[in-house]
Amino acid sequence: MIWVEILSRHRDVAARVRVMGEEASIGRGYDNDVIVDDPYVAAHHLRVFRDATGALIAQDLGSANGTFADGVTGRISHFVIDGGQPIRIGQTLLRVRAPDYSVEPERIVPAERHRLPIVLVAAFTAMLLGLVALRVWLAQTGEPRLSNYVTPLLLVAGIILVWVGIWALLSRIFAGRSHFVSNLLIALAGFLASLIYNEVARYAAFALTWPAPSTYEYASAWLILAVVCFLHLRAISATRLWLKGTIVAVVLVIAIGAQTLQRSEAFFDIGRQNTARLLLPPAFRAVPARAPDGFFADVAGLRVSVDADRRKARPGEVVH
Partner 1 sequence: MAHSVALLQPHGVLAKRLPALVFYLHRAQEKLTTNWFGGAGYGEALTAWFRLLLTICAVGCGAAQAAPGQVSSAEAVYASAPPRLLQIRTLLTSAGQQTSNGSAFLVSADGLAITNYHVVSQVIFEPNTYRLEYTAADGTQGDVHLLGVDLPNDLALVRVDKHDAPFFAFDAAAIRGDLTKGERLYSMGNPLDLGFTIIEGTYNGFVDRSYNERIHFTGALNPGMSGGPSTTAAGEVAGVNVATRRGGQLVSFLVPARFASALLQRVRDQGPTSDLRAEIGRQLAAWRTALYKSLGEQGFRSAAFGPYRGPEPVAPWFTCWAQTNSGATPKPRADLNTTNCTSETSLFVASDLNIGNIQINHYYARSSDLNQFQFANYLAQLSQARLTGGGPYKKWYTPERCHEDFVGAAAADRPPLRVMWCAQAYREFEDFYDVALIAITQDDGREALVSRMSLQAVGYDDAMALGRRFLDTVRVSK
Residues contributing to the site for partner 1 (CB under 8 A): 137-143, 209, 211, 267-273, 276-283, 285, 287-292, 295-296, 298-300, 302-303, 305-307, 309-310, 314, 320
CB of 201 to partner 1, least distance (A): 15
Which CB atom, from 20 or from 319, has the smaller least distance to partner 1?
319
Long-range pairs of 187-191 with CB within 8 A, sequence gap ≥ 24:
187/160, 187/163, 187/228, 187/232, 188/121, 188/124, 188/125, 188/128, 188/160, 189/124, 189/228, 190/224, 190/225, 190/227, 190/228, 190/231, 191/128, 191/156, 191/160
CB of 148 to partner 1, least distance (A): 12
Which CB atom, from 22 or from 265, has the smaller least distance to partner 1?
265
CB of 275 to partner 1, least distance (A): 9
CB of 204 to partner 1, least distance (A): 13
CB of 218 to partner 1, least distance (A): 19
d(CA 172, CA 159): 20
Q: Helices 217-236 and 180-207 meet at what angle, rounded to 10?
A: 170
Position 166, amino acid: I
Cβ neighbourhood burial of 105 (10 Å; 0-12, 13-18, 19+):
exposed
Cβ neighbourhood burial of 2 (10 Å; 0-12, 13-18, 19+):
buried
d(CA 208, CA 187): 31
d(CA 195, CA 276): 17
CB of 263 to partner 1, least distance (A): 12
User: Which run of H or of E encompasses 250?
Assistant: helix 241-270
Question: How many Cα atoms within 13 Å fall on the side-chain side of residue 174?
Answer: 13
Would you mind telling me the total number of residues written for the chain in this entry? Answer: 320
Q: Using alpha carbons, select from 197, 185, 201 the residue that is nearest to residue 222.
A: 197
CB of 211 to partner 1, least distance (A): 7
CB of 206 to partner 1, least distance (A): 8
Which CB atom, from 115 or from 272, has the smaller least distance to partner 1?
272
Position 125, amino acid: T
Which CB atom, from 116 or from 276, has the smaller least distance to partner 1?
276
CB of 285 to partner 1, least distance (A): 6
Across 74-114, the runs of DSSP E, i.e. the strands, are 78-80, 87-89, 92-97
